[in-house]
Amino acid sequence: MTFENTTFKEYFCLKNRDSLSLDPWLDGEQFFGRQELGERVAKRIESDFVKTRTIPKFFVHGSYGSGKTHTLAHIKFILSHSELYPYPTEPIYIDIAPLAAKERYAQIHARLLDAIGMDRVKAAAEGTADTIKGDKVEGFLSPSVMPFGDQTLRTSEANIFRNLLFGGRQAQMSWEWLKGRKLSDADAHSLGTQKQLTDAQDLVFCLLNVGALYKIGCKKRLVFLIDEAEAFRVVTAPDSQNELRHALRQLLENVNTFIGFIFAIQVESGQEGVGDFFSAEDIRRRVDYDSGYIDLNGLVSTVDDARTFITEMLAYLIDQNRAEELIRSEALDTTKASFPFTEEAIDSLCQHIADFAEGALPARIISWMSDAAIEAWRRRTKAKVHQLVTREILEETIFPDH
């Protein structure tokens, strides 16, 4: 039998992809590795919904390749598919980097609004307007729709929400106002706005009012999944730092029951490396101290953890029924749980991961496994049966210079 024209996918019985790899968003349903970490994430989400804050607000952190983005994708899957919470949520992913040394909150605000998108806010305004009898602006000014800000801000934003109902240039200018763009006096008069959004406090209140509108109009609550949040540490100008910290405190306050915030932060050490911006006492208090920081660096740290991660990943990626047929028909020296690796290769990889801390990262483990599987596939024409990933092949790919 010849395998010269057999694709990698066919050769190793992959289910629905062409490579031995994981995609954070395609595979967000699965949380690979230590079960207690996955359970802690799920429990934190669950508890946040029934605590005073009533919506998830916490931090996950870990080294590069530790699975931060995959964790955010898993959180998105949980939020999108659970029916246990009082209101369904609309999880929105945003990569917040890059930021500048003198970054002001206005730029962050604009990017958050862009992530939500004009279509979502317009749909929320339309859905809310359908519940209002009489004057729409007066209805939008209801405390349930517009709970944040002074009267001038609330009146301005109520007019903006009304303008979104009509479309056209007025709607587009209204969207720019929501994002913090300064309008000319003529445009401001046309839109019915009495205030420019220049103050960070007003921008925060404006965003939270959008969240309140979305809850009523779309029957969902927004949750931001903010990746690369270590970018906030780049902001070093004192005025910018103070403004961003004030905004973060406001967004994490329990009075904000409309918009959730989950930050993923790259940290090469433990929680002590999160940085002052995210670990100041006033921030820690708002997320229930240490329970609000989930360290992903321990996702794969022991031989047993590594074995769990690897076998879960293989079970997810490999059609193990087909693999079992191959193993039986070709008398291959492995099991369906280990295929396409020999058990000796899996043992060797697990020990290597446990012995070297830098190896205990999901992205690195996946890369090693993929490289080794590719090398085994390259040798497919030299054997009459499937070439498994042996310990020798694995070590050649992990230690190519040895």
| Beta carbons of 192 and 174 less than 8 angstroms apart | no
Reduced to 3 states (helix: H, G, I; strand: E, B; else coil), residue 59 is strand
- Looking at the 3D structure of the chain, how many domains does it have? 2
Written as one letter, the residue type at 318 is I
Residue 261 sits in the same domain as residue 332: no
Residue 106 sits in the same domain as residue 189: yes
Domain for residue 30, yes or no? no
Strand stretches in 198-320, DSSP E: 221-227, 259-266, 293-295
pLDDT at residue 15 above 80? yes
Residue 61 sits in the same domain as residue 119: yes
- 1 band by pLDDT with thresholds 50, 70 and 90: low
| Beta carbons of 329 and 47 less than 8 angstroms apart | no
End-to-end CA distance of the chain, in Å?
34
Residue 290 sits in the same domain as residue 309: no
pLDDT at residue 166 above 80? yes
Domain for residue 353, yes or no? yes
| Stronger pLDDT, 379 or 303, i.e. the higher one | 379
Written as one letter, the residue type at 101 is A
pLDDT at 383: 86
Residue 233 sits in the same domain as residue 334: no
pLDDT at residue 85 above 80? no
pLDDT at 23: 93
Residues of the chain above pLDDT 90, percent: 84
pLDDT at 133: 93
pLDDT at residue 28 above 90? yes
- Averaged over 222-226, what is the pLDDT? 98
Give per-residue pLDDT as tens, 115-138.
Answer: 999 999 999 999 999 999 999 999
pLDDT at 48: 95
Give the integer Cα–Cα distance in Å for 320 and 127. 48
pLDDT at residue 87 above 80? no
Residue 148 sits in the same domain as residue 250: yes
Residue 310 sits in the same domain as residue 279: no
- Among 295, 326, 347, where does a domain finish? 295
- Averaged over 230-246, what is the pLDDT? 96
Residue 288 sits in the same domain as residue 311: no
pLDDT at 358: 64
Give the integer Cα–Cα distance in Å for 291 and 287. 7
Give per-residue pLDDT as tens, 356-393.
Answer: 766 678 888 999 999 999 999 999 999 899 999 999 99
Domain for residue 387, yes or no? yes
Structure tokens at 91: 């999880």
pLDDT at residue 33 above 80? no
Residue 330 sits in the same domain as residue 379: yes
- Averaged over 292-300, what is the pLDDT? 86
Reduced to 3 states (helix: H, G, I; strand: E, B; else coil), residue 362 is helix
Give the integer Cα–Cα distance in Å for 395 and 402. 9
- Among 264, 295, 326, where does a domain finish? 295
For residue 52, what are the domain limits?
Answer: 35-295
Residue 138 sits in the same domain as residue 257: yes
Residue 213 sits in the same domain as residue 353: no
- 209 band by pLDDT with thresholds 50, 70 and 90: very high
Give the integer Cα–Cα distance in Å for 372 and 141. 62
Kindly report whether the global pTM for this prediction surpasses the value 0.85. Answer: yes
The counts of H helices and E strands in the chain are: 18, 5
**86: preceding bond cis by omega (within 30 degrees):** no
Residues of the chain above pLDDT 70, percent: 98
Domain for residue 374, yes or no? yes
Residue 57 sits in the same domain as residue 202: yes
Over the chain, what is the mean pLDDT?
A: 93
- 282 band by pLDDT with thresholds 50, 70 and 90: very high
